[in-house]
Structure 1
């Protein structure tokens, strides 16, 4: 296997997302801009090892259960559930909304922990969800603390529009990121999902570099100005407790 083939093989995995959980061979080859014969060999290699499966009805390819093994290994290493879930559950109960932990993975934020409150209507997010750093409170909170050259590099790769509230203007987005960093938190309304608010607070590693965020989210109609002030105070308080975990184990994210 050449270095280029290995790069294509690893890059291919990033195309399997919650929005696009399965792909046809030619559609994926077109999206990746590579030869479909080359891609077919890559897919069959993954399939042989159990990392990719082919849907017998649609003939499309999907991620295999083999990847769950890695999820278990990573969560065990980080001990996130043991230390953080109780705090997140307290937070979700205190503000009556969904709370999730997002960690940076390249140009994306990945949801790694979720705590939900028993509301009839709630914000749907799943563990493993990957979202571009330029959209939504959880990810923009992270992006705001990146060096400007990294921010520009991400923006210049192109911005996908999720709703009519998604920021697409480079200068406005950069100004918003600067404002988030100055305030120390982010608040968005309908940027990633229609009619959904997000309120995020940053998390740092032991070197002081941004690594993630803790975010509260739910239907916009439930977030009045008075409740937003109360929610932010509780979110900051509980996030400071979670930050203590990263102060202790943050060397895993250097």
Structure 2
């Protein structure tokens, strides 16, 4: 029997519960939880064990999940990777930006990212890793909050007023003592980003880590992505930060031009 919360939740027109439940199962897996047994999954998702098992069997037949023969637990199948690759291939900005990201890493020796915005989060769609021993724990497909990351603020600054209000209304939760949690100060920060065309993160997401980011515009002038460089604070001297900011701004402008953007 469905849980009380499932029964009481209003469903929009066209809602298909079985599809929603199957997608919820796929989203249940994460880097922190790559595998799960049927019982644990059913309990966490408030599903009957038989329902969860039936959905997993269907997804397994289509290749979206697979069962680990050693422990009987389920994990994502290779078919999900195929879909991810199809989606990434559709991002022209990723194809154009990748050589520039490599150039940034060669020049600065720090990790470079390309990210897009989605409902209050940034999604990393490309990454070039540096050879430094102190590196950033990130990966393609990773999501982070927009309000407390340099690349996230860079993208959020160019969203609609309604979207910015929605994100602020959801809460500016302090990730570190440096996180901006005051609405007035945060709005001023976004205004400064729009004016300068660059964003920074001074240990707002993670202590010991800074980030410099710049927006990428498409042929219509819309901010469609952002690139960033992240570095540990021990390497972020004022002189080096100035070099990072300049390099990021120039690379973002080059990517924008390659996408057809013409600045005034």
TM-score, normalised by the number of residues in structure 1 = 0.80
Structure 1 unmatched runs, 5+: 249-254
Q: Is the 8 A contact 1:109 1:212 kept in 2?
A: no
Determine the C-alpha separation between the residues in 2 that align with 1:227 and 1:201. Answer: 17
How many angstroms apart in 2 are the aligned matches of 1:11 and 1:206?
36
Question: In structure 1, what is the equivalent of residue 80 of structure 2?
Answer: 67
Q: What's 2:220 paired with?
A: 207
Pick from 205, 225, 231: which aligns with 2:244? 231
Is 1:94 equivalent to 2:107 in the alignment? yes
Candidates 13, 19, 43, aligned match of 1:6: 19
Counterpart of 1:251 in structure 2 is: none
Quick check: 1:104 aligned with 2:117?
A: yes
SS at 2:155's partner residue? helix
Q: Output the CA distance in 1 between the equivalents of 2:178 and 2:40.
A: 29
SS at the partner of 1:208?
coil
Q: 1:235–1:65: structure 2 CA closer, same or farther, 3 Å change rule?
A: same
Q: Does the Cα contact within 8 Å between 1:17 and 1:129 map onto a contact in 2?
A: no
Q: Is the 8 A contact 1:17 1:130 kept in 2?
A: no
Q: In structure 1, what is the Cα distance between the partners aligned to 2:35 and 2:118?
A: 21
Instruction: Report the Cα distance in structure 1 between the residues aligned to 2:207 and 2:34, rounded to whole angstroms.
Output: 21
Equivalent position of 2:231 in the other structure: 218
Task: Provide, for residues 127-185 of structure 1, a one-character-per-residue CA deviation record: whole Å limited to 9, x for no partner.
Answer: 11111222211111111111121122233345565444344444443332233222211
How many residue pairs match? The answer is: 247
Matched with 2:10 is: none
Map Cα deviations across residues 24-43 of structure 1 (whole Å, 9 max, x no partner). Answer: 656666766x5455555444
Determine if contact 1:99/1:215 at 8 Å carries over to the other structure: yes
**Residues 23 and 178 (structure 1), Cα distance of their counterparts in 2 relative to 1, 3 Å cut:** farther
1:126 corresponds to: 139
> Relative to 1, partners in 2 of residues 1:211 and 1:82: Cα closer, same or farther, differing over 3 Å?
closer
Question: What is the 5 A alignment of 1:129-144?
Answer: 129-144=142-157
C-alpha RMSD over aligned residues:
3.0
Q: Is the 8 A contact 1:162 1:193 kept in 2?
A: yes
1:6-45 alignment runs, 5 A limit? 6-22=19-35, 34-37=46-49, 38-45=51-58
TM-score (norm 2): 0.78
Pairing 1:184–2:165 present: no
Offset of 1:82 from its aligned partner?
A: 4.8
Q: 1:182 to 1:60 in 2, by over 3 A?
A: farther
Classify 1:82/1:238 alpha carbon distance in 2 versus 1 (closer, same or farther; 3 Å): same
Which structure's CA Rg is the greater one? 2
**Structure 2 gap segments, 5+ residues each:** 1-13
Distance 1:159 1:52 in 2: 35
